[in-house]
Amino acid sequence: MSEAKYESKVSSIPCDARTVYQSLGNLENLNRVRDFIPQDKVQELEIASDSIRMKVDGLGQKITIRIVDREENKMLKFGLDNIPMQANFWIQLVEVNPTDTRIRLTLHADIPFMFKMMLDKKIQTGLDQASEMLAKFPYQLWAQNS
């Protein structure tokens, strides 16, 4: 096994960190974007306030993503269960000003050495895309409709 650390590019969200944190800290808010989740990649999606269970194309079994730690308005740490390696990831928030919060995703994973070279680019691309996607969520609108 080879421990690997991946960091997404930093993306900017046009609102305050508190609003972003409250939205991301309740995973049930993902129900608002459920229609955008590719059905060919993710099936049997179950969303609760602090966890998500789903069947991911290629894994054959349901995986669980759960919030395992929080630092208010700054960080959410997630654990991953039922995947073929040890891994966890963080969403980090830094408020530059009330209309600019920066977001970065960090993944730590124990990847078998023979797969690391094959997965490096895919993991990095996936994290960057996830950071960009999270930056586009309408957090202000969600906060008004809560």
The confidence score (pLDDT) of residue 1 equals 67
Judge whether residue 144 has pLDDT over 80.
Answer: no
Judge whether residue 85 has pLDDT over 90.
Answer: no
Q: Which helix (H) or strand (E) holds 51?
A: strand 51-56
pTM beyond 0.75, yes or no: yes
Mean pLDDT of 76-92: 92
Judge whether residue 2 has pLDDT over 80.
Answer: no
The confidence score (pLDDT) of residue 93 equals 98
Mean pLDDT of 72-98: 94
Q: What are phi and psi of 45, to 5 degrees?
A: -75, 125
The domain spans of the chain are 2-36+66-144
pLDDT tens, 43-60? 888 999 999 998 887 667
- What's the mean pLDDT when you consider all of the chain? 90
Tell me, letter by letter, the H, E, C secondary structure of the chain: CEEEEEECCCEEECCCHHHHHHHHCCHHHHHHHHHHCCCCCEEEEEECCCEEEEEECCCCCEEEEEEEEEECCCEEEEEEECCCCCEEEEEEEEEEECCEEEEEEEEEEEECHHHHHHHHHHHHHHHHHHHHHHHHCCHHHHHHCC
What percent of the chain stands above pLDDT 90?
A: 61
Mean pLDDT of 122-144: 90
Does domain 2-36+66-144 match CATH 3.30.530.20?
yes
